Amino acid sequence: MASPKITKLELVVFQHQIDDMGTDYNGFNQVYEAGSSVTASSTVLRIHTDTGITGEYLAGPASRTVHGLDQVSGYLLGKNPFERELIYNDLKRGLRHTDRTAMGMVDVALWDFAGKIYGVPIHQLLGGWRTSIPAYASTYHGDENGGLSTPEQFADYAEQCYDIGYRAFKIHGWGDAPISREVENVLEVGRRVGDRMSLMIDPACEYNTWGEALLVGRACDEAGFFWLEDPYKDGGVSMFGHQRLREKIDTPILQTEHIFGLEGHVDFIVNGGTDFVRAGVYEDGGITGAMKVAHAAEGFGLDVEFHGGGLAHRHCIAAVRNANFYELGLLNPKIKSSQPPVYPPEFTDELNGVDANGHVAVPQGPGLGVEMDWDYIEAHKVDTLTRE
Ligand SMILES: [Mg+2]
């Protein structure tokens, strides 16, 4: 094939409504709130080429993608869509003064293009290790509105998830809450399902102090938790703070969700700041960048755990040995659905998106491997940003 070229970028913005959804104390964490609703704006990036094949990616909320289009479009038009490694390195350098997340959506769309040209799913191009993946039910943050408002409600929900098939459950705790309730939540969920589920807690950097992280970490030890993730308000970036925390508790720590890119991850590992290594296509430069992190972790003898769901992560996890789970969420017993309904149920990250063994499916079609419901997207489209 002669050198193909990228001819046009499109970012399609469409909306869907999430019912019974509000926000907690400072407006950042989305939580259950009866009668409230949120209008979510999602985006699909389409990278057109002169081959007639288009790379497409459901790239996430408009608030995280739209600003990136003009950061990359001038560079990308005319480039060879097969040169992902060159594009990764050029954009990494070119965006060094700003947030580099636009690399992620570009790279995933280019992998989709490649898979479609070759006629195979991305996980097959990446390696091919497994065809289904154990998932954990990842909750919405605790709320004060009767959804996940008490340790008993979290434990009830863990049991409900167990009955569906899940064998792992991750708590996102409360924002701005007394630490005693966080500790009690860990202990109660541990008492109820700790003998049959892998349990994790992700305070999402909400605790004010290292000392509060230590208190919850000790509860995790008592309850046999599988990991403690991003506990306190260092923002998830202190190698030294987490190395000290690791000295004091037995529960493995999961850090590096907020360390964007390969080199920072390796620095974090060698400085003893984490046990599990976090990677993501949004944070780390697409499938290309996230797989570099995954293989770096493998080289250190560590496991990588991908942040959040989505088809791109199903392909990545399907292609690596050293990963335990797929993160399915976010979930709350009283929120019926929160994802844009553009994929069949087995590829949509809702509560019933797992099989009886608690696994999610790996797409087998070309590229990302699942057709989007373009009738739905067109019917709910609010904008198309085009660069050519
Ligand atoms: Mg997290």
Residues 173 and 316 in one domain: yes
Tell how far the Cα of 9 is from the centroid of ligand 1, in angstroms. Answer: 31
Residues 99 and 222 in one domain: no
Residues 269 and 147 in one domain: yes
Tell how far the Cα of 114 is from the centroid of ligand 1, in angstroms. Answer: 30
Q: pTM value?
A: 0.98
Tell how far the Cα of 206 is from the centroid of ligand 1, in angstroms. Answer: 11
Tell how far the Cα of 84 is from the centroid of ligand 1, in angstroms. Answer: 27
In a domain, 294, yes or no: yes
Tell how far the Cα of 172 is from the centroid of ligand 1, in angstroms. Answer: 8
Tell how far the Cα of 306 is from the centroid of ligand 1, in angstroms. Answer: 10
The domain total for the chain is 2
Residues 115 and 148 in one domain: no
In a domain, 1, yes or no: no
Residues 236 and 354 in one domain: yes
Q: What is the CATH number of the domain that holds 77?
A: 3.30.390.10
Residues 262 and 233 in one domain: yes
pLDDT of the residue at 47: 98
Tell how far the Cα of 291 is from the centroid of ligand 1, in angstroms. Answer: 18
Tell how far the Cα of 22 is from the centroid of ligand 1, in angstroms. Answer: 20
Tell how far the Cα of 119 is from the centroid of ligand 1, in angstroms. Answer: 34
Residue-level pLDDT, tens digit, the chain, 388 residues: 679 999 999 999 999 999 999 999 999 999 999 999 999 999 999 999 999 999 999 999 999 999 999 999 999 999 999 999 999 999 999 999 999 999 999 999 999 999 999 999 999 999 999 999 999 999 999 999 999 999 999 999 999 999 999 999 999 999 999 999 999 999 999 999 999 999 999 999 999 999 999 999 999 999 999 999 999 999 999 999 999 999 999 999 999 999 999 999 999 999 999 999 999 999 999 999 999 999 999 999 999 999 999 999 999 999 999 999 999 999 999 999 999 999 999 999 999 999 999 999 999 999 999 999 999 999 999 999 999 9
Tell how far the Cα of 200 is from the centroid of ligand 1, in angstroms. Answer: 10
In a domain, 282, yes or no: yes
HSE, CB side, 13 Å, CA atoms: give it for residue 312. 32
In a domain, 195, yes or no: yes
In a domain, 163, yes or no: yes
Tell how far the Cα of 54 is from the centroid of ligand 1, in angstroms. Answer: 32
Tell how far the Cα of 31 is from the centroid of ligand 1, in angstroms. Answer: 15
Tell how far the Cα of 230 is from the centroid of ligand 1, in angstroms. Answer: 6
Tell how far the Cα of 236 is from the centroid of ligand 1, in angstroms. Answer: 9
Residues 60 and 163 in one domain: no
In a domain, 225, yes or no: yes
Tell how far the Cα of 13 is from the centroid of ligand 1, in angstroms. Answer: 26
Tell how far the Cα of 116 is from the centroid of ligand 1, in angstroms. Answer: 32
**pLDDT tens-digit map of 354-385:** 999 999 999 999 999 999 999 999 999 999 99
Tell how far the Cα of 82 is from the centroid of ligand 1, in angstroms. Answer: 32
Residues 139 and 160 in one domain: yes
Residues 222 and 116 in one domain: no
Tell how far the Cα of 315 is from the centroid of ligand 1, in angstroms. Answer: 20
Tell how far the Cα of 267 is from the centroid of ligand 1, in angstroms. Answer: 19
Question: What letters, b where the CB count within 10 A reaches 16 and e where it falls short, cover 291-322?
Answer: bbbbebbbeeebbbbbbbbbbbbbbbbbbbeb
Residues 332 and 195 in one domain: yes
Tell how far the Cα of 138 is from the centroid of ligand 1, in angstroms. Answer: 10
Instruction: For residues 330 and 327, give the distance between their C-alpha atoms in angstroms, rounded to a whole number.
Output: 9
Tell how far the Cα of 361 is from the centroid of ligand 1, in angstroms. Answer: 22
In a domain, 199, yes or no: yes
Q: What is the dihedral of CA 264, 266, 272, 273, to 10 degrees?
A: 30
Q: What is the CATH number of the domain that holds 346?
A: 3.20.20.120
Residues 130 and 222 in one domain: yes
pLDDT of the residue at 1: 60
Residues 191 and 100 in one domain: no
**Domain enclosing residue 129, as ranges:** 125-361
Which residues are CB-neighbours of 195 under 8 A, at least 6 positions away?
A: none
pLDDT of the residue at 2: 77
Tell how far the Cα of 307 is from the centroid of ligand 1, in angstroms. Answer: 7
Tell how far the Cα of 191 is from the centroid of ligand 1, in angstroms. Answer: 23
In a domain, 269, yes or no: yes
How many angstroms separate the Cα of 151 from the Cα of each of 29, 154, 173, 219, 230? 19, 5, 10, 13, 20
Tell how far the Cα of 66 is from the centroid of ligand 1, in angstroms. Answer: 23
- Protein residues near ligand 1, an ion, with CB under 5 A: 202, 257
